[in-house]
Structure 1
Amino acid sequence: MKAQFKYICNIVWVSLIIAIHPMNAQQSIGPEHRYELGSKINEMTLTLGGVLVVATNDGLVGIKPSEEHPVFTFNNFGRLKPEETEFIPGSPYVIVSQGAGSKLAGIAKTKRAVIDYVSGRVIFNSEEDQWNQVYTCNVILPQNKLIISGIQKVGDKFEKMTPKVAVYDLSSSTLDYSFFLDKPGRVGMAKDFSVTGTPLLLKEFLIIPTAQGLIAKSHDGKELWTAKIKNVSKMIADASENEIYGFEAVNAGKNTRIHKIDKNGKALWDDDRKIKGTVSKFEILPQGLAVVSNKSSGGDTSVFATKNESEIAFLSAASGEDLWDKAPKTKGYVQHFYVMEDGILFGIQSGGINKISFDGNPLFKKPLKTGENILIMAHSPQGLIYITSEDANIVNLATGESVWKKPLKYKNSASVASTFDTENDRYLIAAANKIYAIDANSGDVSELTQIKFEEKEAANTIDIRGDNIFLAASQNMMLLGKEGKEIYHSYHKAPGKSGFMKVVGGVVAAASLVATASTALAAGANNNGIGANNLRNYNDYGKEAKRASEMFASISDASFKMMSQRFKATSATKDAQFILTKIGKNVGLVKVNKDTGNIEKEIILNNKKPEYKVDDYGGYLFYQATDKSIFTYNLNE
């Protein structure tokens, strides 16, 4: 499970009271639902679909706050370690694993299960399907298939020892087809047919990368061809599925070999292409192949050690040869990478933006010098806007020349927030405890106001609400008039350092949730590409939510449709913010109105270090009331 979604829970029994203050009158209500799990809670993960998946001493439990009872309980494998649970990005699926998987039959039993946490269905269970060992378990989207490789204990004594591949349909939980990777009972020296990477599922056939090479099988299991390209970890096909690229890690994973074959397995390059580092971006373009690879010293401090930086190459699709006489210097890792109509635009994490034509010539008059950590690169009506931890500017996307008179510079800030004020035709940037206003037409910069948030917080949110400007951080909220005059400042003290850290991990910000959904879907749209390539328009959060909803809806499955509806709905944080704070002598969560700064709801948690999750998009609080129970609260009412 990802670190920002993890909790290690150890809490005594407490009771909760919600205090609502309509017109200064107080009304107390209890939790909407109480879930007694019957086993000690170890972790809580709030999923993309709004379901809380709880790891207990007995297994996994799924809690959908709109339902009175858990949506699923999976205790088949007993207690699970954190690394034994994998949430598949951009999907309603969680893969449960036990045992590492051996390449040799009969060594150690492995278990795998795939759960649809939205519907609560156990789609695949290796024990029920008699898989004694599972080498690989891959969810393939948007085809919505599951590909399993390993040893299945069915058939005669030879079949029970022969490596096998099976393809399951995730929507119907049924087996599509399966086949052996080797001939059962074959006489001769044993060969290692372990699967080395993610299989490539094409319209007409499936390619499996194995330790013996690539094996192509039709959907009915008939072998079509083999290719002696071993230890491939990933494959990508072009849009026609006639040309296929395979990536092989070499030198202990430090470098990569790229192979190219046709749909019949025939090599299309005279030799494979060696790339320094590991490939992080790969784009098949009409002009050639754009490749970004990341090199690492591995901690070696020697002057001869590899530099920690990216390399950008542009290869001929026909031959694999480098089309550029001289690759652009990066002097750091590529943080942003976009393919434009006239060339490739990229930004470096340590600072710097450049643009190169497809024939290798610089398109910017000179590389842009920027601050480090480029937070935003996006289209704007005036040009390319970039915002870093130290500066911001808009430049001509064709030439790199500054549209603003000069870059806006500010003190290095861990948090920088920005928005566009349409009514006043200006950009607003909150950084280093100040708000800067930049005229969209002239580029003139003015300091609108200074911000002083309690606890030395920096604003991480800025938004336009009517004629006013809204700012927020974890414990502070502020509303300003369009000239920067304060209308209100609402501050709610953090309940100590430990409590403050919980609010950081406990709340899934709506904007971050949409970004996670859209990025995961874009990266896995064909499950073949490496990374996502889309220079977005500035300030288009609503469009991103719509895009995520449409991409979920495009997959013909009920759970994806439910996730689509979730992102189609208005975020629960549109008009309010949830803050963990002290309420009297207690700790609790307050729902604060963004327009007034008034508290609309209080949830008192009679515990100084509460363990909880807030679905900031759906508007629900999941609270661990005891070491064996979860209470849920509807924050939308």
Structure 2
Amino acid sequence: MRKITTPLMFFILSIVFSQKKADIVLNLSENIDQIVLNNSTGIVLAEGKTHLFGLQYGTDQPIWKIPKTDFRNLKDAMESASSLSFSDDVIIENIETTPFNIITKGASKSLINSETGAILFSTVKEGWTAINHYLLLANSALIIEYIQNKKVNIALVDLRSGLLKWSSPIGEAQSLFSKGFKMLSADETFKPVPKIDQNGSIIGFFNDRLVKFNGDTGDIIWNKEYSIHNFDLNQDNSSILVLLGAGGLGGFMGLKEKVNILNSATGEPIWEEPMKVKKVVYIEDLGDSFILGSWSGFNVYNYKTGQKKWKKDPKGKPKSIVKTEGGYILISDTWMNFIGQDGQKKWKRSVPISDNPEDPIYELKETNGKIFFITATYSNIIDKATGKKIWKKNLKFDEKRPTFFEFDKNSNQYLVYNDEKLYKYGINTTERPDPFTKLKIKKEKEVNDLEVRDGGYLISGTGEIVFIEENGTNRFQHYYKEVGGAGRKLSRIGLIAGGIVAGLATSTVSVNGGPEQGVFMGKRERATAGFASDVAFAQNSNLKKRFDASGSNKDYRFFFTKDDNGNKVLIKVNKDSGTEVASFLFNTAKPVYTLDNIDDIVYYINGQTVEVFKH
């Protein structure tokens, strides 16, 4: 195999074996474009030129097939203008932990059972032009926003039965020009997801309207026109905090916003006038009040009156805020400080944590009175009580190179990789650590994973895998020259760009790694309110790996390369030993394949066939 093996690995024998041919070859008689594994059932959905197929290991024929014409309305081209859904591409989306998949084609949505191929619900059969859909997993329900007779409607479908529970019209459909202009603005970069209150009512933002429905009947409790960026409910569900679009260029660019509080029972504003602020970066519900951090400042506001708790905002332009015992950790520009419950700084001097205000914050975590931070530029430990750095000098990173970190629970230490160096440090590390090992990575910019393993640490990338033992010894290092990498990278970029064009929603990640809905944070479990299905699709880790030339599972890493005879092969490598345990023969330079890591199966597209390898 084309690999680089470190001299320290002379005692490990390179295993040579014949390339494994497919155990099963399914001839589907039409070119196959994509394959997606339903993780719950193990069924693979394969999209061909004219059909969607269901494939199951052990059979040499599809277990079901559906004509793709079943997924497209004849009148899509007319009414889909309101949603800019001109693409004829098929999007196959898993509904995690269920046997179901959602199929999107043009302006249609279909719910299918991956085990049987049965179409449980279809907007095509209803004559609808679908705009968007959302999953309410706590209610086992699917919300569909659609157009019919030039009106926008909201429907709720039971996921288990596929039955339509209710459908309610909410307003006139927007024109193509109006919708297209808004999608270019910051208003459309994040689409709020519906929320469910304690009474089972559903509140959602659709077609520039904030609407509250009776969750059982679909009856509209209130329907208000607002230009909303995002919204959330407070703890007792009595109030709705909304972020509204501001006018002018600042509003268009998302640099200015308005904040208001609505009465959840009526949808009417509680404040006489919305509060104008610059870009909002943080909101947290405190019950009768809430924290608001924006580029204008940082303070605590009363829901009913809008009054500030503190006379003056702490100085600085907030970038992020983390609630902690005794107050808040405020990150502003390139520094950090501890703000008490009275709004006053508790540290005499702010602590610099980066060189550039735009540098990402990878980690900010408090442990036993110590605050660990990792940014693109620096890392250090701060004594929370005094604001003093534990190390006199920061651990400096090269921001132009990849930085990865993991927390080793066994040793209670952080493991950080940057610039071909590995560092270890924990709460008892009183001096700035030196790297405990230095590496030579063939293509460092392609490093994409750092993993804590039993007895050491694994660093891997598109074509490279390195195991470093806990004492810094290099156990093994292999490099596999990738075949057709440029084509696959274009495919990955195309998927992301297509998602942006289609108006896929986005989400943010808090500084301690937790996913959040936009800028909102709080104790209430937002997962019970559902999530935007297009976000789930965009962030689906399994789908992401399908488009990558290398995949991974718990104990193995896969690499696409050529063997010594020039054969294109997918190599299965043991993460702990570096041993090549299997090799699968591929015929294409830019393969599309998927890994079933539960049953150890590889599905690979080869023209009109899907080749299946058991390993």
The residue aligned with 2:584 is: 603
The residue aligned with 2:361 is: 374
The residue aligned with 1:94 is: 102
**In 2 relative to 1, CA 459–352 (structure 1 residues): closer, same or farther, beyond 3 Å?**
farther
Q: Secondary structure at the match of 1:128?
A: helix
**In 2 relative to 1, CA 572–164 (structure 1 residues): closer, same or farther, beyond 3 Å?**
closer
Give distance in 1, aligned partners of 2:88 and 2:339: 43
The residue aligned with 1:320 is: 306
The residue aligned with 2:430 is: 443
Matched, 1:81 2:82: no
**In 2 relative to 1, CA 328–346 (structure 1 residues): closer, same or farther, beyond 3 Å?**
same
Q: Deviations over 1:197-241 (max 9, x none)?
A: 765544254456577965545456586754655445654222332
**In 2 relative to 1, CA 310–182 (structure 1 residues): closer, same or farther, beyond 3 Å?**
closer
Matched, 1:396 2:383: yes
Q: Which runs of 5+ in 1 are unaligned?
A: 1-21, 100-110, 153-159, 184-195, 294-308, 507-515, 536-546, 561-565
Matched, 1:249 2:241: no
Correspondence list, 1:160-179, <5 A: 164-179=153-168
Contact 1:198–1:209 under 8 Å retained in 2: yes
Structure 2 counterpart of 1:285, one-letter code? L
Q: CA deviation at 1:427?
A: 4.0
The residue aligned with 1:633 is: 613
The residue aligned with 2:233 is: 237
Contact 2:420–2:438 under 8 Å retained in 1: yes
**In 2 relative to 1, CA 230–610 (structure 1 residues): closer, same or farther, beyond 3 Å?**
closer
Structure 2 counterpart of 1:578, one-letter code? F
Query: Among residues 476, 490, 496, which one is paired with 1:488 in the alignment?
Result: 476
The residue aligned with 2:80 is: none
Matched, 1:339 2:323: yes
Q: Secondary structure at the match of 1:498?
A: helix
Contact 1:86–1:96 under 8 Å retained in 2: yes
Q: Which runs of 5+ in 2 are unaligned?
A: 1-12, 74-85, 173-190, 495-506, 537-541, 543-550
Query: Among residues 543, 551, 557, which one is paired with 1:577 in the alignment?
Result: 557
Q: CA deviation at 1:265?
A: 0.6
Give distance in 2, aligned partners of 1:123 and 1:278: 43
Q: Deviations over 1:296-339 (max 9, x none)?
A: xxxxxxxxxxxxx686554221223444444456658x4x5533
The residue aligned with 2:187 is: none
Which has the higher relative contact order, 1 or 2, with Cα contacts under 8 A spaced 6 or more apart? 2
Give distance in 2, aligned partners of 1:368 and 1:400: 7
Q: CA deviation at 1:600?
A: 0.9
Give distance in 1, aligned partners of 2:373 and 2:602: 35
Correspondence list, 1:105-116, <5 A: 111-115=108-112
The residue aligned with 1:17 is: none
The residue aligned with 2:21 is: 30
Structure 2 counterpart of 1:452, one-letter code? K
Q: CA deviation at 1:432?
A: 0.9
Give distance in 1, aligned partners of 2:369 and 2:48: 53
Contact 1:583–1:604 under 8 Å retained in 2: no
The residue aligned with 1:289 is: 290
Q: Secondary structure at the match of 1:127?
A: helix
Give distance in 2, aligned partners of 1:233 and 1:116: 34
- What's the TM-score once normalised by structure 2's chain length? 0.69
Equivalences, count: 524
Give distance in 2, aligned partners of 1:504 and 1:464: 27
Contact 1:462–1:470 under 8 Å retained in 2: yes
Give distance in 1, aligned partners of 2:331 and 2:116: 41
Contact 1:438–1:446 under 8 Å retained in 2: no
Give distance in 1, aligned partners of 2:274 and 2:303: 11
Q: Deviations over 1:486-520 (max 9, x none)?
A: 333222233365278489889xxxxxxxxx9999x
The residue aligned with 1:296 is: none
Q: CA deviation at 1:601?
A: 0.9
Contact 1:373–1:389 under 8 Å retained in 2: yes
Q: CA deviation at 1:607?
A: 2.9
Q: CA deviation at 1:581?
A: 2.1
**In 2 relative to 1, CA 319–385 (structure 1 residues): closer, same or farther, beyond 3 Å?**
same
Give distance in 1, aligned partners of 2:296 and 2:88: 31
Structure 1 counterpart of 2:399, one-letter code? N
Q: Secondary structure at the match of 2:486?
A: helix
Contact 2:166–2:218 under 8 Å retained in 1: no
Structure 1 counterpart of 2:164, one-letter code? L
Q: Secondary structure at the match of 1:454?
A: coil
The residue aligned with 1:563 is: none
- Identical aligned residues as a percent: 19
- Of the structure 1 ranges 379-388 and 165-174, higher mean CA displacement relative to structure 2 is found in 379-388
**In 2 relative to 1, CA 44–373 (structure 1 residues): closer, same or farther, beyond 3 Å?**
farther
Give distance in 2, aligned partners of 1:600 and 1:137: 43
Q: CA deviation at 1:96?
A: 1.7
Q: CA deviation at 1:61?
A: 4.8
Give distance in 2, aligned partners of 1:161 and 1:504: 36
Contact 1:71–1:117 under 8 Å retained in 2: no
Correspondence list, 1:419-434, <5 A: 419-420=406-407, 426-434=413-421
Give distance in 2, aligned partners of 1:53 and 1:465: 33
**In 2 relative to 1, CA 609–206 (structure 1 residues): closer, same or farther, beyond 3 Å?**
closer
Structure 2 counterpart of 1:315, one-letter code? Y
Give distance in 1, aligned partners of 2:46 and 2:404: 33
RMSD, matched Cα: 4.8
Correspondence list, 1:8-47, <5 A: 26=17, 29-43=20-34
**In 2 relative to 1, CA 36–621 (structure 1 residues): closer, same or farther, beyond 3 Å?**
same
Structure 2 counterpart of 1:58, one-letter code? T
Contact 2:552–2:558 under 8 Å retained in 1: no
